[in-house]
Structure 1
Amino acid sequence: MWRLRKVVSGSHFSFSSALRIRSSFYQSRTFSYIAEGQRVDTSTTSKPSFIHPSAIVHPNAVIGEGVSIGPFCSVGSSAKLGSGCQLYPGSHVFGSTELGDNCTLMTGAVVGDEYPGCTVIGSNNIIGYHAVIGVKCQDLKYKPEDECFLEVGHNNDIREHTSIHRSSKLTDRTVIGDGNFIMGSCHIAHDCKIGNCNIFANNTLLAGHVEVEDYVHTAGATVVHQFCHLGSFSFLGGGSVVSQDVPKYMMVAGERAELRGLNLVGLTRRGFSVVEIGGLRTAYRKIFMCFDANAGSFEERLAEVEQHEELVNVPAVRDMLQSIRSSFMQDRRGICKFRHWNFS
């Protein structure tokens, strides 16, 4: 239940007024809230909130129960903080921003900005030291009067110095799913769509409009070109520059990333069966590693596997084939190059 903390009375709000409230407001631990038009005395609540006297919290901000706001933090007029949120010293919530329950902002973290649009963050998220989440995008087509949006799910660990930007236009939004581990100094640009349970190692950089499915793992210093798609359970090697799609279950590496086989380690860890992995390996070899010089073109080999009765009965193989096909649809970038074998 959202409750509105009245930090100061009157129409004026300033840093000096926030400092003056200590004796009359905090020492008594009696706070006034507004909920559905009624005033509630929180001296009887089991989880009182704490706001440090040096923090600047706008009187119109909505603060849940058990919130802790540390020294030198700021919370804007349109912000909503769910119950149990913790703002460490020097963290800030700006603009139309909503934090779900039990979110933590480490020192120096900045969430939201004052531009039109909003940032909505789910529950149980950790925003790391000096991370910048939900600010305006770095896109020349963006117009300051346009609304822009960021939606973040639940249980994400977003580490230090990471930047995640809002969308570039009203008709789109940047979306982060649930349970992602986004390590230090990563960048997720405007209009990206990130699924669930992904791991982005340090300095992973995603350009605008990139789509990442589920359980994708990038190694350090990976760069992904605009509009690329990364399929579920794929792995991107360290230092890779990915300029085309990575189909499901595959592994790529290289300064201009090439397919390097299946992500067998990842598939095993995620509980894929021996039958599924065997089917994927057979299908991959038939499509990408055919040593027969008379085997036909890539399209012919792909069509042959699609008609292979035994292989297409394996759901994982069907998913991989569909992922490859989708990469060649209109407005898609095709798949990363694969090594051409020497038949001599």
Structure 2
Amino acid sequence: MPGAMVGDHLPGRTVLGCNNVIGHHAVIGVKCQDLKYKPGDECFLHIGDNNEIREHTSIHRSSKSSDKTVIGDCNLIMGSCHIAHDCNIGNNNIFANNTLLAGHVVVEDYTHTAGAIVVHQFCHIGSFSFVGGGSVVSQDVPKYTMVVGERAELRGLNLEGLRRNGFTATEIKSLRTAYRKIFMPVDSNSTSFEERITKVEEDKELGKITAVCSMIQSLRDSFAQNRRGICKFRYFSGS
């Protein structure tokens, strides 16, 4: 569209796939805003197919030659969004206006952000999750969950997103049961967070549900070395 700029006079390259729309005055594939970048280093941006990148969005190349900023396929990136250096964005995501991602953020698939959200560097946003408007995300968002808040907190499962994306009633019921066992124990002092995760893993019924296993793995991955842990959550008792 008029006013858009794609690529920059830098070593390295910006690669776009097929059927992408670049909106008015968007700036795609320019120098990153990382002071560690050394002039003359190669830097890269790879964008897949069928993405709609709306007006005034900025997407930066990587900060070093050993990495690259990646945007997958079929993403809707609305106006005035920012995707910083070395981010890795999957497929079929929807970023509402003014979604701002710092460097090295990983967003999986089928996520949805509301407007004016900020994501801290190195955070991971799990598949089929939802980030509420105005949220500041400073830790990982597990798969299938919903977070919101000035310092984003877990507020349950992204039930509407799961239904829209074809999850069965059995899968959703199992995810709700697993979520309650992990995040809404009757007595939070009786067992540790790790013990509750293990108990769900070992459950004869829940342990057979692929979606539950995927959520558990997402939680465990967030506590791996050099990861930021998951967003805070409140203990609620009851149904």
**TM beyond 0.5:** yes
Once the two structures are TM-superposed, the CA of residue 312 in structure 1 deviates from its matched residue by: 1.1
- Counterpart Cα distance in 2 of 1:341 and 1:312: 23
Match of 1:135 in 2: 30
- Counterpart Cα distance in 2 of 1:162 and 1:127: 9
CA distances 1:202-244 after superposition (whole Å, capped 9, x unpaired): 0000000000000000000010000000000000000000000
Q: Which consecutive residues of structure 1, in runs of 5 or more, have no partner in the other structure?
A: 1-105
CA distances 1:309-335 after superposition (whole Å, capped 9, x unpaired): 210100000000000000000000000
Matched, 1:245 2:130: no
TM-score, normalised relative to structure 2: 0.98
> Residues 93 and 109 of structure 2 are in contact (CA less than 8 Å); yes or no, is this contact kept in structure 1?
yes
Match of 2:149 in 1: 254
Query: Mapping of 1:50-61 within 5 angstroms?
Result: none
Match of 1:230 among 110, 125, 129: 125
Aligned residue identity for 2:30: V
> Residues 229 and 244 of structure 1 are in contact (CA less than 8 Å); yes or no, is this contact kept in structure 2?
yes
Once the two structures are TM-superposed, the CA of residue 170 in structure 1 deviates from its matched residue by: 0.4
CA distances 1:98-127 after superposition (whole Å, capped 9, x unpaired): xxxxxxxx0100000001110000000000
**Kindly tell me: are residues 311 and 138 of structure 1, through their superposed partners in 2, closer, same or farther at Cα, counting changes over 3 Å?**
same
Match of 2:45 in 1: 150
Once the two structures are TM-superposed, the CA of residue 295 in structure 1 deviates from its matched residue by: 3.4
- Counterpart Cα distance in 2 of 1:224 and 1:295: 33
TM-score, normalised relative to structure 1: 0.68
**Kindly tell me: are residues 239 and 322 of structure 1, through their superposed partners in 2, closer, same or farther at Cα, counting changes over 3 Å?**
same
- Counterpart Cα distance in 2 of 1:272 and 1:340: 26
> Residues 236 and 253 of structure 1 are in contact (CA less than 8 Å); yes or no, is this contact kept in structure 2?
yes
Match of 1:263 in 2: 158
The sequence identity of aligned pairs, in percent, is 74
Equivalent position SS for 1:245: coil
Match of 1:274 in 2: 169
Aligned residue identity for 2:222: S
Equivalent position SS for 1:256: coil
Once the two structures are TM-superposed, the CA of residue 132 in structure 1 deviates from its matched residue by: 0.1
Matched, 1:201 2:90: no
**Kindly tell me: are residues 165 and 323 of structure 1, through their superposed partners in 2, closer, same or farther at Cα, counting changes over 3 Å?**
same
> Residues 188 and 235 of structure 2 are in contact (CA less than 8 Å); yes or no, is this contact kept in structure 1?
no
Aligned residue identity for 1:232: S
Tell me how large the CA RMSD over aligned residues is. Answer: 1.1
> Residues 90 and 107 of structure 2 are in contact (CA less than 8 Å); yes or no, is this contact kept in structure 1?
yes
Once the two structures are TM-superposed, the CA of residue 296 in structure 1 deviates from its matched residue by: 0.8
Equivalent position SS for 2:205: helix
> Residues 118 and 148 of structure 1 are in contact (CA less than 8 Å); yes or no, is this contact kept in structure 2?
yes
Match of 1:4 in 2: none
Alignment: residue pair count: 238
**Kindly tell me: are residues 140 and 293 of structure 1, through their superposed partners in 2, closer, same or farther at Cα, counting changes over 3 Å?**
closer
Match of 2:72 among 163, 166, 177: 177
Matched, 1:216 2:128: no
> Residues 295 and 301 of structure 1 are in contact (CA less than 8 Å); yes or no, is this contact kept in structure 2?
no
- Counterpart Cα distance in 2 of 1:305 and 1:323: 14
- Counterpart Cα distance in 1 of 2:191 and 2:208: 24
- Counterpart Cα distance in 2 of 1:325 and 1:295: 21
Q: Which consecutive residues of structure 2, in runs of 5 or more, have no partner in the other structure?
A: none
Structure with bigger RCO (C-alpha 8 Å, 6+ apart): 2
CA distances 1:246-274 after superposition (whole Å, capped 9, x unpaired): 01000000000000000000000001000
> Residues 185 and 237 of structure 2 are in contact (CA less than 8 Å); yes or no, is this contact kept in structure 1?
no
Equivalent position SS for 1:309: coil
